[in-house]
Amino acid sequence: MKLGSQNQLLFPSHGSRTLFFGNDLDWLHYTWIDIGTPNLSFLVAVDAGSDLLWLPCDCIQCAPLSSTFYSSLDRDLSEYRPSLSSSSTHLSCNHQLCDLGSHCKNLRDDPCPYVANYGDSENTSSSGFLIEDKLHLASVSLNSNSTQKQMQASVVLGCGRKQTGGYLDGAAPDGVMGLGPGDISVPSLLAKAGLIPKSFSLCFDVNGSGTILFGDLGHTSQKSTPLLPLQGRYDAYLIEVESYCVGNSCLEQSGFKALVDSGSSFTYLPTDVYNKIVLEFDKQVNAERISSQGGPWNYCYNVSSKQLNDIPAMRLQFLMNQSLLIHNSTYYVPQNQEFTVFCLTLQPIDYNYGIIGQNYMTGYRVVFNMEDLKLGWSSSNCQDISDETEVNIAPPRDDGSPNPLPTNEQQSIPNKHAVAPAVAGRTSSKPSVASKHIPCLHLHISSLTLLLHMYLFVLHI
């Protein structure tokens, strides 16, 4: 099985496509997945900053699921009901993946509870209990253009009975698929079952489309940089940036460690690095700086159509002369035929690490490779998925699936943070490294990124 897993890619049975809806669904990327028997479809946010897959389930407090609440959707979203799936079973409190077992009265018979707190400013969370059920997938061989094969795999998911904060206000109303390196994440469970190597890729194209591929190790010619441990454990996709370059200038002392997190809509830098970057950008750009009028970004400009070509490029520099040219470092709002307002989509964060969000991943096939402990990337239009063969990956089979392109209404400057930076991790009743040092940290879980990770960075990076 392990040898066979090296030669196939898995993706959701609807197809590998990811969707982007702009402001309507809080600037996150989504994909359709099918869960249960009979299968039911869910539009889940793809989040490399957390581990848990959760769905709105037997709801006490959930976001609206009717399409009338979302201008981009033309079909209603689903609510998961374990009692209606013949393949669902409760995860018991004595299961090895249950971190809150000590809160149960009966370890063998009680369902395992979970609480997931997410690192935004809106006290965003999901809570409920854990379920094991079937995820419907398709597979394709890397060695041939063979027909896709349908299959099912057991995964652990959160029956999200109660959501709070951003999850009641447009962010991931139909759930989150955590893609982190933790044992409970979908990539980890697929790898443990011998179906794939422990690696996956995300690709976000400039037009808002993209792909997700489980088992993808990337192109042999891709660039890469090592993943870094936290206290000897690889609990997050953490990398080190040697320097940040604006135009032709790579700034001194501009290096930083960063989480790579598709659950963060935009990118955040440690305050000292942020200040150097924005000052250098402001010096190089030939444009009039203006107020962002309540938007989240501090450096916005009004430029003519001619000046658009003179905006300085930005690049991240890594070890071994590896670099990543940033294709999506600015956000544009056309004013008329002659002038455009654009903002530098960077924000400071008061920690000594940064968060590389999905906007900096645009234009690349980004490979989260836990087999070789490296992050890889290669320029991509998100169509071809292997060095030798172009594999046609089917789009969602339901013609009523949402339009992935943002509407005009979604092109306004956002006036708030999305659910980013998300800093999350699965709740643990056991003393974490962080909680040993910070007594007030209790029952904090994994992410759209988990709070536990944030504390670990503060203490140990």
**pLDDT at position 450:** 39
**pLDDT at position 256:** 97
Which run of H or E residues covers position 4? helix 2-5
Question: Which amino acid is it at 114?
Answer: Y
**pLDDT at position 264:** 93
**What is the pLDDT of the chain when averaged over all its residues?**
82
Tens-place pLDDT, residues 36-49: 999 999 999 999 99
Handedness of CA 312, 318, 323, 329 (dihedral sign): negative
Model confidence pTM above 0.95: no
Write the DSSP symbol of residue 312: P
CB-CB contact of 445 with 424 (8 Å): yes
First to last CA, the chain: 38
Residue indicated by tokens 């000292």: 272
Across the range 113-127, mean pLDDT stands at 86
Across the range 205-233, mean pLDDT stands at 93
**pLDDT at position 427:** 28
Question: Which amino acid is it at 134?
Answer: K
Judge whether residue 277 has pLDDT over 70.
yes
Query: Would you place residue 151 in the very low, low, confident or very high pLDDT band (cuts 50, 70, 90)?
Result: very high
Give the residue with greater pLDDT, 144 vs 381. 381
Query: Would you place residue 434 in the very low, low, confident or very high pLDDT band (cuts 50, 70, 90)?
Result: very low
**pLDDT at position 105:** 80
How many helices (H) and strands (E) in the chain?
6, 30
**pLDDT at position 257:** 97
What percent of the chain is predicted at pLDDT more than 70?
80
Tens-place pLDDT, residues 193-218: 999 999 999 999 988 889 999 999 99
Residue indicated by tokens 């609510």: 79
Judge whether residue 276 has pLDDT over 80.
yes
Q: How far apart are CA 273 and CA 267, in angstroms?
A: 13
**pLDDT at position 121:** 60
Across the range 61-69, mean pLDDT stands at 96
Copy the structure tokens of residue 392. Answer: 């046609």
Residue indicated by tokens 């598709």: 262
Judge whether residue 410 has pLDDT over 70.
no
Across the range 324-335, mean pLDDT stands at 89
Catalytic positions: 47, 261
Q: Is 305 helix (H, G, I), strand (E, B) or coil?
A: coil
Query: Would you place residue 334 in the very low, low, confident or very high pLDDT band (cuts 50, 70, 90)?
Result: confident
Across the range 168-194, mean pLDDT stands at 96
Looking at mean pLDDT, say which of 59-68, 285-294, 430-439 comes out highest: 59-68
Judge whether residue 225 has pLDDT over 70.
yes
